[in-house]
Chain A
Amino acid sequence: MSEHIVPVRVYVTIFMVLLVGTALTVLAAFHDFHYQFGGLSLNAIIALAIAVTKATFVVLYFMHVRYSIRLVWVIVTSALFWMAIMFALTFADYWTRGWLPVGY
């Protein structure tokens, strides 16, 4: 079989990383980081950064994408790409609604 078998220590490491990430995100949530970037607080950015990191580890190792054929990479990337379009276009509308006076 040409299939890559992920070794147990990799699974254990990823499991540990995910638990540490969960602990970090809970700890970080109770701390006020004060900064605000537009509509996004630094607290939200940190929480999302940890979640994205955890999800990336799950996708690459638990879901074996790191060892999968190129076509799987293309499909996973396409999901992120279309999500980005959905968010970008929707917020291009909502965030700019107040920019023009009402009743033009």
Chain B
Amino acid sequence: MSHAATEEVHGHPALQHHFENMEQQREAGTLGMWVFLVTEIMFFGGMFLAYTLYRSQFPAAFASASNHLDIKLGAVNTGVLILSSFTMAMSVYFTQVGKLRPQIVCLILTLILGVTFLGIKAVEYHSKYEDHLIPGKLIASSQFGPTVAHEGDQDPHKLHLLPGATVKQVELFYWIYFAMTGMHALHMIIGAGLLTFLIIFSIKGRYGPEYHSPVEVIGLYWHFVDIVWIFLFPLLYLLGRHFEHG
């Protein structure tokens, strides 16, 4: 390796002294992020396990509670999140090929889509609040106690119980629903914070073909959060829909 080439590889201001070159640093960063994501997978895995366990024990109650969720908002949110994953991936691409402006635009779009997701989620949470479906006595003004619909009652704000389901079991579903979507939303909020950080430094021109580990690594995190939702949407909103009786 000639002296000039060595200077070029070693001279990047973002290269930490304990790495040989930028490529080694980038691979180490990606690897570290994946190790972190494994701990995240195990963390969410515990909640998916709880969900699977109680769904298998109380299938009728879980289907009844699931049918009360707003499938349109859930599906739109899935689309919003998938689109945000796409814009995030595109931002990584534009960083790799060194196009600064599209890189910033894609990051901003990703942030906007992430906030849109959280907004739609808030609308959903509010309707659960109004229907008294927030489990336990966490909120004094809306303790758990949905109005159970009688046979033939079409009111969407009332809880339609399938045969064999009890209100107590429905409450269990909503504990799991709020725990899982709440943890997911918290991850989205953290992700939005990280994106804000990326946008600020991206505008300063920090990231390009030579150095883009932060964009890549936060992208990995963002896609992971997307994957969690890819599982949450069918499990929470869709399973049991075919039992729907008006």
Q: Which residues of A are at the interface with B, using a C-beta cutoff of 8 A?
A: 1-3, 5-6, 8, 11-12, 14-15, 18-19, 22, 25-26, 29-33, 39, 43-44, 47-48, 50-51, 54-55, 58-59, 61-64, 68-69, 71-72, 75-76, 78-79, 82-83, 86-87, 90-91, 94-95
Q: By the criterion CB–CB under 8 Å, are A76 and B34 in contact?
A: yes
- Decide yes or no: A75 and B38 within 8 Å by CB, A11-B89, A58-B85, A86-B46 being known contacts: yes
For the complex, what is the distance from the CA of A4 to the CA of B216, rounded to whole Å? 13
CB distance from A31 to the nearest CB of B (A): 6
Contact of A48 among B85, B89, B234 (CB under 8 A): B234
Question: For residue B46, which residues in chain A have a CB less than 8 angstroms away from its CB?
Answer: 86
**A residues within 8 A CB of B71?**
26
Residues of B within 8 A of A (CB): 23, 26-27, 30-31, 34-35, 37-38, 41-42, 45-46, 49, 52-53, 56, 71, 75, 78-79, 82-83, 85-86, 88-90, 93, 96-97, 209-210, 216, 219-220, 223-224, 226-227, 230-231, 233-235, 238-239, 241-244
In the bound assembly, the distance between CA atoms of A87 and B50 in angstroms comes to: 10
**SS class, residues of chain B in contact with chain A:** helix
> Are the C-beta atoms of A78 and B38 separated by less than 8 Å?
yes
Q: Is A1 in contact with B89, judged by CB distance below 8 angstroms? A: no
**B93 with A83: CB separation less than 8 A:** no
How many angstroms between the C-alpha atoms of A33 and B239 in the bound complex? 12
Q: What's the nearest-Cβ distance from chain B to residue A7, in Å?
A: 8
Whether the Cβ atoms of A26 and B75 lie closer than 8 Å is yes
Q: 22 interchain pairs (CB within 8 A)?
A: A2-B23, A8-B90, A11-B86, A18-B86, A18-B230, A19-B82, A30-B241, A39-B56, A51-B234, A55-B230, A58-B227, A59-B223, A62-B86, A62-B223, A69-B27, A72-B30, A75-B31, A79-B42, A83-B41, A87-B49, A87-B52, A90-B53
| Contact residues of A: prevailing secondary structure | helix
Cβ contact within 8 Å between A50 and B234:
yes
Residue of B nearest to A61 (CB): B89
Taken together as a complex, chains A and B put the C-alpha atoms of A36 and B227 apart, in Å, by 27
Residues of B within 8 A of A87 (CB): 45, 49, 52
Bound complex: CA of A32 vs CA of B244, how far in Å? 10
A95 CA to B235 CA in the complex, in Å? Answer: 20
Given contacts A26-B75, A78-B38, 8 further A-B contacts (CB under 8 A): A15-B86, A22-B79, A44-B239, A47-B234, A69-B31, A87-B49, A91-B53, A94-B56
Residues of B within 8 A of A78 (CB): 38
Known contacts A22-B78, A63-B223, A90-B53; A68/B238 CB under 8 A: no
Contacts of A32 on B, CB cut-off 8 Å? 242-243
**Chain A CB within 10 Å, residue with most, of B53, B89, B97:** B89
